[in-house]
Amino acid sequence: MLKAFDKKLEFTKEKSNRYIVKLEDLKRVIGFLKKKMGYNFLVDITAVDYSTYKTAYPKRFAIIYILRDKNFDNLTVIKSYLNEDEIVDSITDLYKSANWSEREVWDQYGLKFKNHPNLKRVLNHKEFIGHPLRKDYPITKNQLCTKTDDLMDEMIPRLKAKGYENQEEVMFLNLGPAHPASHGTIRTFVALEGETIISAVSEIGYLHRGFEKSCENHTYNQIIPYTDRLNYCSAILNNIAFAHTVEGMLGVELPQRGQFIRVIIGELSRIIDHLVCLAANLVDMGALTNYWYLYNPRETAYHLLSKLTGARLTNSYMRIGGMTHDLYDGFKDDLKQCLEDVQKGMDDSLSLIEHNRIFQDRAQNIGVVSKEEAINRGWSGPNLRASGVNYDVRKQHPYYFYDTFDFDVALGSVGDVYDRMMVRFEEIRQSMRIIEEAMKRLPNGDINVPDHSITFPKKQKVYTTIEGAMNQFKLVMDGVKVPASEHYSAIEAANGELGFYIVSDGSGTPYKVKVRPPCFFAMSSLPDMIEGEMVADAVLDLGSLNIIAGELDR
């Protein structure tokens, strides 16, 4: 593919979709891919520190760009090796989503970008010294933050661009980190004139807990509980995304029953996530009653999940190569009840707002994001579909028999708050269709991969035979041995494309894990979205994007 670009270009093809190019060609190649090949969706940017890797690499770091083309059919990974002192060309002028991603790479790995508008830390705090994802940074080292960032370094240029030379003309206000509508600890610093937002700057990282660093020090199965805490509203979908990626690296596929259970529980999690988002968004609008109408069915769903997994919120139900246990007796009836409750809650809530003029006036044409803009921003999931882009990982890259299920993709037409909410309502309906179909087709059989180098043997064997006990011991102590490779794979989580880029060195702990959180890209566009709108609209925008701080800050 790259041959068509420049005959003199030196590159190596690592895998079918992974190319290694020289650092100085990087920007040219990406520019070519975007303009000529239609790769206009930047999935993620990350880096790897190979300093302690078992085999030697030409240089210490590699920077990795993951791209999708305009129909979202092909995924291409561009990789380039570099040393600490080398500077990368920023691609923020090609992809707006690169802005925060490059900041994150600088923050975590200390790689510098040329021509980046504002290269500063994004997840770690202002007083942080060092770059935590470098291998020489000790995981136990704590650094306290004693000062808040006044964010004026970003605010003043933005104000000047809007024609406000004098800061006395505006009123500065912090929407968050402890604001009732910030849904977690997210800070948006705004300059107001009256109640109209002139310019805004977002600061995240208040909930940063070093997920990716922790992953490098735990075995694969130990990471599963950490993934629960990413998007805690739909914990199981994170489990599935991670397990799915690792299984892809292992080259195994779950038995059919296991896959169907993942579909059922995953879709249930998606329903819960959407319910939470909608309820919170409507409460931000002052429509209190919807909160209970939508939260009560969520309660039924949590009862079901706690019966199934033993936990309500952070379930840790999945394992590499399967799940902890099979469905319990009577699951079917509970699920049926749960779906009925969801249907009722959703109908009641819709009957309150669907034809309500106040609701329509509040939600329509607020926070409009066009198709091109949404793609350029790296949006995915319901937010992207609300802007009218037909991209659903379940349809474009089917996994777990999603191509055999009968469901529709909900699309919006305008891309405003109203569309984002209505798309979520419709997705709840579609998820229910999928669950019903999956329950009908649910086959019998194993749920786990029969390979005991991946999954635990039966408890019976562990307690009675020496082989079983050894098997269990090795799996617990060493973890699942994943062959040395690099792999990116994504599923459609409640918020959009949730992907993991995992580098394995063949041991039981991953060498590097990078999660692609859909929220991160939605959040990075919030400041631009709310400029020119009122404070009351900004609150709705934030709510309708469904920003989950656990996933955003990792």
Using the minimum distance from each CB to another protein, give the nearer residue, 37 or 173.
Answer: 173
Report in angstroms how near the CB of residue 287 gets to another protein at its nearest: 4
Per CB under 8 A, the list member of 26, 170, 301, 353 interacting with another protein is: 353
Closest to another protein by CB, 138 vs 180, is 180
- The window from 63-71, 311-319, 359-367, 440-448 that contacts another protein (CB under 8 A) reads 359-367
Indicate the residue among 66 and 170 with the shorter CB distance to another protein: 170
**CA nearest to 30, candidates 82, 98, 86:** 98
Contact window for another protein (CB under 8 A) among 81-89, 248-256, 270-278, 353-361: 353-361
Q: Smallest gap, in angstroms, from Cβ of residue 352 to another protein?
A: 6
Taking contact as CB under 8 A, which single stretch among the options 248-256, 351-359, 393-401, 414-422 is the one that binds another protein? 351-359
User: Under rule CB under 8 A, which residues in 517-546 are in contact with another protein?
Assistant: 528-529, 531-532, 534-537, 539
| Min dist. Cβ of residue 21 to another protein (A) | 31
CB 523 within 8 A of CB 496: no
Instruction: Report the Cα 405 to chain-centroid distance in Å.
Output: 24
Nearer to another protein, 127 or 372 (CB): 372
* SS3 label, residue 125: coil
Instruction: Take residue 339 and report the two structure tokens written for it.
Output: 């779906």
Q: At closest approach, how far in Å is the CB of 278 from another protein?
A: 13
Selected range binding another protein among 204-212, 322-330, 348-356, 503-511, rule: CB under 8 A = 348-356
Measured CA to CA, the distance from residue 354 to residue 282 in angstroms comes to 12
Q: Are 492 and 394 spatial neighbours (Cβ–Cβ below 8 Å)?
A: yes
250 versus 342: smaller Cβ distance to another protein: 342
Q: DSSP assignment of 43-96, as one string?
A: EEEEEEE-TT-SS--SSSEEEEEEEE-TTS--EEEEEEEE-TT-EEEP-TTT-T
Binding another protein (rule: CB under 8 A), the pick from 87, 139, 152, 358 is 358
DSSP-assigned letters across all residues of 317-337? -EETTEESSPPPTTHHHHHHH
Torsion of CA 278, 279, 283, 287, to 10 degrees: 90
Structure tokens at 473: 């011991």
Q: Which of 200, 366, 351 is nearest to 281 (CA)?
A: 366
The three-class DSSP label of residue 193 is strand
How near is the Cβ of 359 to another protein at its closest, in Å?
Answer: 5
Q: What's the min distance (Å) between Cβ of 108 and another protein?
A: 28
In the window 425-464, what residues touch another protein (CB under 8 A)?
A: none
Residue closer to another protein, measured from CB, 344 or 459: 344
Please state, in angstroms and rounded to a whole number, the distance separating the CA atoms of residues 133 and 117. 23
User: By C-alpha distance, which of 176, 275, 104, 163 is closest to 527?
Assistant: 176
- Smallest separation, CB 391 to another protein (Å): 22
> What is the rounded distance in angstroms from the CA atom of residue 79 to the CA atom of residue 392?
26
| Closest C-alpha among 249, 530, 495 to residue 367 | 530
What's the closest the beta carbon of residue 163 comes to another protein, in angstroms?
9
Q: Is 84 in the site for another protein (CB under 8 A)?
A: no
Listed ranges 81-89, 102-110, 355-363, 464-472: which one lies at the site for another protein (CB under 8 A): 355-363
DSSP strands (E only) in 215-323: 318-319, 322-323
Nearer to another protein, 180 or 330 (CB): 180
Size of the site for another protein (CB under 8 A): 37
Task: Name which position in 352, 409, 414, 442 contacts another protein (CB under 8 A).
Answer: 352
- Comparing CB distances to another protein, the nearer of 292 and 331 is 292
Q: Contact letters (x/-) for another protein, 264-303, by CB under 8 A?
A: ------------------xxxxxxxx-xxx--x-------
**Is residue 241 within the footprint of another protein (CB under 8 A)?**
no
Q: Is 470 left (phi over 0), alpha (psi -120 to 50) or beta?
A: alpha
Q: Compute the least distance from the CB of residue 529 to another protein, in Å.
A: 8
Nearest to 36 by CA among 65, 77, 6, 79: 6
Q: Select 78 or 282, whichever has its Cβ closest to another protein.
A: 282
As to burial, measured by CB atoms within 10 angstroms (0-12 exposed, 13-18 middle, 19+ buried), residue 194 is: exposed
Contact letters (x/-) for another protein, 391-420, by CB under 8 A? Answer: ------------------------------
Question: Is 209:125 a contact under the CB 8 Å cutoff?
Answer: no
> What is the C-alpha radius of gyration for the chain, rounded to an integer number of angstroms?
23
| 11-15 β-sheet, strand order | 11-15, 18-21, 75-82, 61-68, 41-49
Residue 188: CB minimum distance to another protein, A? 13
Task: Fill in the amino acid letter for 480.
Answer: V
Query: Any idea what the Cα angle at residue 505 is, between residues 499 and 511, rounded to 5°?
Result: 55
Residue 368 near another protein by CB under 8 A: yes
| Pick 112 or 162: Cβ nearer another protein | 162
Map the footprint of another protein across residues 142-201, applying CB under 8 A: 162, 171, 173, 179-181, 195
**Nearer of residues 7 and 357 to another protein, judged by Cβ:** 357
Instruction: Find residue 47's DSSP bridge partners.
Output: 63
Q: How far is the CB of 284 from another protein (least distance, A)?
A: 4
177 preceded by cis ω (within 30°)? yes
Interface residue list for another protein (CB under 8 A) = 162, 171, 173, 179-181, 195, 282-289, 291-293, 296, 352-353, 356, 358-359, 361-362, 368, 373, 528-529, 531-532, 534-537, 539
